[in-house]
Chains A and B, each alone.
Chain A
C-alpha cells in the first residue's frame, strides 16, 4: 500500500499475511491507547499542577497499592493476550501443511539458489503458483543468511550444516521482494531477488520450460548410481546398507539404542556424516560424503530417497526437520 507513491504497508500476498497484520494492528491499537493515555496524563498534569507560588511543594502522596496492582495486572493480562495470539499465529507460520509443495533453497555469498522438484533451477528468482502451500527447505553453503519474503510475512535463517524451513501459500499474483535478512558480508544488500507468484496454469506453463537435467528426483536417481549408493542399499534389505524403500516417516532403531524418525534432516545427515546415526544391525561401513556432494545434489538425493517411499506411508512432516549434529549421541 502506498501513500503518494511512498510504500507504507507491504502487500498481503500469502494466506497468513492478513493474520499477521491483524495481530500487528491489535498490538498497535493497545500501544497507541497506552501511549496516548500516558501522554495526555503527563501533559494534563504538567499543566494543571504547575508551581504557582514561591516555596510550594507537591502533595505528600507515597503511593497507592490498589493502583500499583491495577497497572501491573492489566498490562500483564494484555501481554498474555498478545503472547497467546502471537504464539498461535507463529504455529500457523511454522507448520507447513502435509500437502505442501517442496522447494529447496540454498543461500550462499551472495545469491539465493532455488530448486524445484521438477528440475527447474533458479537464481535470485522464484516462481510459485497461487493456491498451493509451498514448503521451502533452506540451508547455507557458507555463513548464516536469512530467507525473507516480506509480502508473505515470513523468514527463516539459512544455517550452514543444517536444514531449516519456512512455508507459505501465495494468494495474490504479482512480483514481490526476496531479501537476505541476516548480515552476511560485503554484498549482503545485493543478495536480493524476486518471488514471482503466478496463476496455476501460468506456473505450469513456466514449468514446462523444464530443467535441462530432468526433475530433482531424476537427478537424484542418477547420483544414486554414480556415487554407488545402489551397491549397498539394496531394496531387499540384505545389502550392506538398509533398504531405502518406504522408510520416510518411519521410526528406526539406531545402533546406539536410540531411535529416530526418517525425515529430510536425517537423510541429509546420513549422507554427510554417515556414521552418526547408523541403523541397528548394520556395520559402520558407509563413507561420509561431507565435502563431496554439494547442497544442490544433496537435495536431489534426498528427494530421490523420498520418492522411494509411497505417499501413503509418508506421514505429515513435523514442525521442522530433525537437525544434525548428534554423532555418537547418548540419550
Chain B
C-alpha cells in the first residue's frame, strides 16, 4: 500500500490550509485518515447493532407466531412515513455535502437544516408510536398486558377475535413471548433513536461551522463524515422497518 506522503522537513514550510492539523503532512493524508476512521467506526456500529439483530433472528425463529402477532400492533403508516422521511433526509444530507463541496455556503446550511428537520420529524413520530405502546400496555415488564382484541392504533389490522389467526400459541404463551418481541422492539428502535439524536446534534455543530465559513471545496471533511454517519443511521432503519413492522403482513 502507498506510504504516507511526506515532503515536509520539519516546521517552517510554506503556508497550508488552516484546517491542516500539525501531525499530518498534507490535506490529502488528513482526509484519507478521516475517511478510514469513519468507516472503521461505522463497522463497529454494525457489530453493535448486530448483537440485537442476532437475538432478534433467533427469537423470531423460535416464536414466529408471537412475533407476527406483536408486529401487527405496530402502525405501518407511521413506520412507512418514517422510512420515507429518513430516506429523504439522506437525500438532503447528500445535497448538503454537495453544497459544501461546491463552496455554496447558504445551500449547505439550508440542506443541513432540512436534514435536521426531517430527523426531528422522525423522532416526533417515534414519540407518537411509543406513546401508543405505553397506552396499550405493550411495554415489557410488570405492567405488560397482551390483549389481542384491541390491537394497535391508527392503521393496524384488527385481529379476528382472539389470538392471531395462524398461531398455535395460547394466550398465556403470547403474554410471555410477545414481551421478548417488544423488548427487542424498544431496545432496537430506542438505540436507533439515540443514534439519530446524536446525529442531529452533530448536524447542529456542522451547521454552525458552515455558518462560520469554515468549509470550502478543499476541506469539507466534517460534512462528508457526518453524511456517512447519517446514511448509516438511515440504513439501520431500512433493516429495522421490515423486520419489526412487516412480520407476516401479507394477507
Contact = CB atoms under 8 A, between A and B. Distances in A.
Asked if A and B form a direct contact in the complex, defined as CB atoms under 8 angstroms apart, the reply is yes
Interface of A: 255-256, 273-276, 278, 284, 287-288, 290, 325-330
Contacts of B168: 255-256, 275-276, 278, 284, 327-328
| 9 A-B pairs with the lowest CB-CB distances in the bound complex, closest first | A328-B65, A275-B170, A288-B172, A330-B64, A328-B64, A328-B169, A327-B169, A327-B173, A255-B168
A327 to B, nearest CB: 5
B98 to A, nearest CB: 46
Nearest to A288: B172
Nearest to B167: A328
Contact of B170 (A256, A288, A325, A330): A288
Given A328-B62, A328-B64, 19 more contacts: A256-B168, A273-B173, A274-B170, A275-B168, A275-B170, A276-B168, A284-B170, A288-B170, A288-B172, A288-B173, A290-B172, A325-B63, A327-B63, A327-B66, A327-B169, A327-B173, A328-B63, A328-B167, A329-B62
A276 B169 contact: yes
Contacts of A275: 168-170, 173
Nearest to A290: B172
B170 to A, nearest CB: 4
A329 B169 contact: no
Contacts of B172: 287-288, 290
A227 to B, nearest CB: 16
Contacts of B169: 275-276, 327-328
14 contacts: A255-B168, A276-B169, A276-B173, A287-B172, A288-B173, A325-B63, A327-B168, A327-B173, A327-B177, A328-B169, A328-B173, A329-B62, A329-B64, A330-B61
Contacts of A326: 62
B171 to A, nearest CB: 9
A255 B167 CA distance: 10
Interface string B31-42: 000000000000
A287 B172 CA distance: 9
